[in-house]
Structure 1
Amino acid sequence: MTDDLTFGIEEEFFIVDSEGHLSQSGDTVVDSASEGEGELQHELTRSQVESATGICSTHDEALKQLRGLRTELAEAAAQRGCRLLPCGSPPVAELGLPHITPNPRYERMAEHFGATARTSHTCGCHVHIAIPDRETGVRLITRIRPWLPALLTLTANSAISDGFDTGYSSWRYQQWTRWPSTGPPPEFTSLDHYESIVDAWLRAGAILDRKMVYWDVRLSEAQPTVEFRFSDVAATPEDAVLLGVLIRGLVTTILDDEKPASGLSNEVLRAHLWRASRDGLSGRCPHPRTGDLAPTTEVVGDVVDFAAAALDSTGDLDFVRDGCARLFAEGSGADRQRTRFAELESPEDVVDLLVVRG
């Protein structure tokens, strides 16, 4: 059932001007970008853009597509005197609120959710993993929950926001979870249980449509996939693909293992995710098996070991181990942001560090 699961990766970016402030050119950047492999899309605000790979089978495919998509967007942005910024939250403080993209759905969201829509200004990375059916997807979501905090640390990339060091590696995660349908999913007993919560949210007006189910892991409404939505946009394509193939390896391992759910409550899992978003890769993280704090690098190493057989079967094991070794040595996006900011306390320098060179 789980042999050679395909995957895809979506990335959200900010469009910033030469000084690092948010630009309102995102929609025109998307519309003018050259068409290559994958897809470019508008986002909620006009200072954001989104890209999506096609269906991938190997890490080389995904890496090639992500690099190409970033280059297309960066070149289109440069034509407007702007830059493409892969960062979970805007490093430079803004005086005004972002402009909503002129789209009926986005405008309705902004009106209905008010400041939540206009101030939760974040960019994430979404990983899609193919599943045979929605019932399998719900079983997977229930059993993969304890592993989410460790995964969150890998691409933490929003330490500097609004001109200061937030004290978090993934400040985006804290901002994002203000939406009423975000956060870790519960332990579902069935697909009907999943659907009953979505229906209740719709009836309460906590979501306007099924695309607004924003759990950290959800069933995709558009694709036959489970979608992982907890991550900051990665600082580099290599970091994003590392996350994607490690998630695929975990999915394969968990579905083939068929062990029962962990019994981990959402109250405890929220605490684990909070700790992971604060400490990131350079601190301590609750271990997915025990809940005890351990150095994050050790926890991530244990996650890789747990999925090693599945990663090896798809040719990803060396790529993942090399990628983790690189991150442990160089630091995550958040670590690199914090180091650069400490030198001059300049959020503009953080932007210069991260922007994609077309």
Structure 2
Amino acid sequence: MSAAANEPQQPIGLEPFGQSAALSLGVELELQLVNTHNYDLAPYAEDMLRLMAGRKLPGSVVPEMTSSMIEISTGVCTSAGQALDELTQLRDALVACADKLNIAILGGGTHAFQQWHQQRIYDKPRFRELSALYGYLSKQFTIFGQHVHIGCPDADTALVTLHQMSRYIPHCIALSASSPYVQGQDTAFDSARLNSVFAFPLSGRAPFALTWDAFADYFTKMTRTGVVRSMKDFYWDIRPKPEYGTIEIRVFDTPLTVQRAAALAAYVQSLAAWCMHDKPFMPTDDDYLVYTYNRFQACRFGLDAVYVDPATGEHMALREHILATMDRIAPHARELGAENGLALLRADVQASRNDARWLRERQGEERLLAEVVRQAAGRFREA
């Protein structure tokens, strides 16, 4: 690591919490770029961005940490249906541009057999800075996630909702899990991607603060240490995004289809509506006694995980807790037009299906990970 990477830099400061429509949505997807020869990752982000720049599309398309990744984002949406429409437009444009370059694009939380040391850091100041600080971890961060933003009416509501939704982080992990393979090996995890995130020192859970004043005090203390400069330095599972007036859920693996990405957004929006309007419980710091255990269970076993209720200590099947939660949030899903997304996810939970299972089934049939990646690319462009 260079000496410059160790030098404290001027903190940017905590922004005021912005205004956004309550329960508005924004969806970000990090996607894989692969060649069509052996379906390994291919450093074509710059070419893709050049081709995409001439198209009028909702949201945005931006580079990510390494040159074999690209990120698409919707605009501010009112419903999961609108998010699906925008993601579909972006997906179709990406596929058309990829075809011109003779490459393919796909979802999934990890590439099945890429070698991290072969990846190139995308030439952007922040990515160069992170590479200088984190060394090889930066290239190992060639992983792919979905982030969902939820609009909050005010800063205090955002923090209370953030900590309420922390109980449901295992649900989000298991429903989206799509990263069983890393560097050619079956990891035995449904979501191995999050193991790479956990390596970063500012990952994990947000500090327990239920008011913006208390959170601002924490942020001030952290900036005084020189460890952080801005909210971007936190890699928490859920974090407030004051510039947008949202909370951002960050634990999802990128799904294999945009349809599933929109369904996951529908689930989060409905869950947030239940938390904000019904106020089913007040979060406490004791909720986090089992947080890391529940998160590990979901990463390792997916829908087959054990879930420990932080309020009662009861152990149950995670799939049963997910289904019970879907029943509770169903009235809000109806009001938000999110029923189709929840129905898709409910059917998969009842059948013990997620994208990790689909990938393993394809590998069981094909015995060739390159063919599994090829089929995943085909699935992304069609669904």
Fold conserved between structures, TM > 0.5:
yes
Q: Which of 230, 237, 241 pairs up with 1:220?
A: 241
The residue correspondences of 1:330-349 to structure 2 (distance < 5 A) are: 331-349=353-371
Flag structure 2 segments of 5+ consecutive residues without an equivalent: 1-19
Distance 1:172 1:257 in 2: 33
Give the direction of change, closer, same or farther, for the CA distance of 1:219–1:249 in structure 2 (3 Å limit): same
Q: Which residue of 1 aligns with 2:113?
A: 92
Deviations 1:291-347 (A, max 9, x none): 544333322211211211211211223441244214544821101011112234321
Deviation at 1:93, TM superposition (A): 3.3
- TM-score when scaled to structure 2? 0.86
Shift in Å, 1:218: 0.8
Aligned counterparts, 1:35-50, within 5 A? 35-50=56-71
**8 Å CA contact retained: 2:60, 2:73:** yes
Change (3 A) 1:286 1:227: same
- 1:7 matched to 2:28? The reply is no
TM-score, normalization by structure 1: 0.92
CA distance in 1, matches of 2:310, 2:100: 46
Bigger Rg, structure 1 or 2: 2
Structure 1: 4+ residue segments shifted above 6 A: none
Counterpart residue identity of residue 235, structure 2: Y
Take 2:129 and 2:21, find their aligned partners in 1: how far apart are those partners?
41
Residues 145 and 185 of structure 1 are in contact (CA less than 8 Å); yes or no, is this contact kept in structure 2? no
Give the secondary-structure state (helix, strand or coil) at the position aligned to 2:362. Answer: helix
Counterpart selection for 1:105 from 114, 118, 126: 126
Aligned residues: 358
Name the CA distance, whole Å, in 2 between partners of 1:105 and 1:333: 32
Q: Is the 8 A contact 2:255 2:261 kept in 1?
A: yes
* 1:251 to 2:272 alignment: yes
Mapped partners of 2:178, 2:313: distance in 1: 24
Please say if residues 116 and 139 of structure 2, whose CA atoms lie closer than 8 Å, have aligned partners that are also in contact.
no
Cα RMSD after superposing both structures: 2.3
**Counterpart-to-counterpart distance in 1, 2:195 and 2:116:** 21
Structure 1 residues 288, 127: closer, same or farther in 2, change over 3 A?
farther
Please point out which of 197, 205, 209 is paired with 1:184.
205
Give the letter aligned to residue 121 of structure 1. Answer: T
Q: Which residue of 2 aligns with 1:76?
A: 97
Query: What is the DSSP-based 3-state SS (H/G/I as helix, E as strand, rest coil) of the residue aligned with 1:16?
Result: strand
Structure 1 residue 50, shift from structure 2 partner: 0.3
SS at match of 1:169: coil
Shift of 1:176: 1.3
Per-residue CA shift, 1:78-131, capped at 9, x if unaligned?
221211120111101327331111111110111011122121221100001111
Say whether residues 1:301 and 2:323 are aligned partners: yes
Q: How does 1:98-247 map to 2 (within 5 A)?
A: 98-247=119-268
Cα offset for 1:58?
2.2
Cα distance in 1, alignment partners of residues 50 and 35 from structure 2: 18
Supply the distance in 2 between the matched residues of 1:92 and 1:311 (Cα, whole angstroms): 38
Say if 2:291 is the partner of 1:273.
Answer: no
Question: Per the alignment, do residues 299 and 336 of structure 1 end up closer, same or farther by CA in structure 2, a change over 3 Å counting?
Answer: same
The residue number in structure 2 matching 1:22 is 41
Structure 1 residues 221 and 5: CA distance shift in structure 2, 3 A: closer
Q: CA deviation at 1:254?
A: 0.9
Q: Percent identity?
A: 24
Give the distance between the partners of 1:221 and 1:97, measured in 2 at CA: 36
Distance 1:272 1:73 in 2: 36
Contact 1:279-1:285 at 8 Å conserved across structures:
no
- Structure 1 CA distance, aligned partners of 2:131 and 2:328? 42
Q: Which residue of 1 aligns with 2:11?
A: none
Q: Which runs of 5+ in 1 are unaligned?
A: none
Give 3-state SS (helix, strand or coil) of 2:249's partner: strand
SS of alignment partner, residue 96 of structure 1 = helix
How far did 1:208 drift? 4.9
Task: After superposing the two structures, state which structure 1 stretch, 107-116 or 68-77, moved more.
Answer: 68-77
Name the residue aligned to 1:315.
Answer: 337
Give the distance between the partners of 1:127 and 1:30, measured in 2 at CA. Answer: 22
Say which is worse superposed, 251-260 or 102-111, in terms of deviation. Answer: 251-260
Deviates more, 1:101-110 or 1:31-40: 31-40
Q: C-alpha displacement at 1:287, in angstroms?
A: 4.7
Are the counterparts in 2 of residues 275 and 285 from structure 1 also a CA contact under 8 Å?
yes
Distance across 2 between alignment mates of 1:75 and 1:291: 51
Matches within 5 A, 1:31-70: 31-33=50-52, 34-70=55-91
The 3 A distance-change label for structure 1 pair 21 and 196 is farther
Closer, same or farther: CA 337–292 of 1 in aligned 2, 3 Å:
farther
